[in-house]
Amino acid sequence: NAGVTQTPKFQVLKTGQSMTLQCAQDMNHNSMYWYRQDPGMGLRLIYYSASEGTTDKGEVPNGYNVSRLNKREFSLRLESAAPSQTSVYFCASSPRGSTEAFFGQGTRLTVV
């Protein structure tokens, strides 16, 4: 049982490049989330998906887009990366009606 799997684990981008962060969960959870974690700040929600086919903005959505491809997969896209998007990105999932979230191992992204 892998839980929540994120790829890649590390990435370096040049300003203006685009990339997609991948996330998949094998726990049959309805809800999925993308967070970013920066030094001195708490985890901040970028986007979430309460169920397959729906997505909603979180606290810091600017510069990002998401796709809930199916129940298992939730991807995060940076169309034109900026140095301010240097961060550690976490994907998480939770079952319907539960407050317990399961996190992936994170993607450490550096934009130069």
Partner 1 sequence: EDQVTQSPEALRLQEGESSSLNCSYTVSGLRGLFWYRQDPGKGPEFLFTLYSAGEEKEKERLKATLTKKESFLHITAPKPEDSATYLCALMGYQKVTFGTGTKLQVIP
Site string for partner 1, 8-37 (x = CB under 8 A): ------------------------------
Instruction: Output the smallest distance, CB 59 to partner 1, in A.
Output: 6
Burial code (b: 16+ CB inside 10 Å, e: under 16) for 73-88 equals: bbbbebeebeeebbbe
Residues β-bridged to residue 45? 35
DSSP letter at 73? B
Contact with partner 1 (CB under 8 A): which of 34, 64, 104, 111?
Answer: 104
SS3 83: helix
Among the listed residues 13, 23, 92, 111, the single contact to partner 1 using CB under 8 A:
92
Q: Is 101 in the site for partner 1 (CB under 8 A)?
A: yes
Q: Does 90 engage in binding with partner 1 (CB under 8 A)?
A: yes
Structure tokens at 103: 């996190």
Rounded CA-CA distance 36/102 in Å is 15
Residues that bind partner 1 in the complex, under the rule CB under 8 A: 4, 40-45, 58-59, 90, 92, 99-106
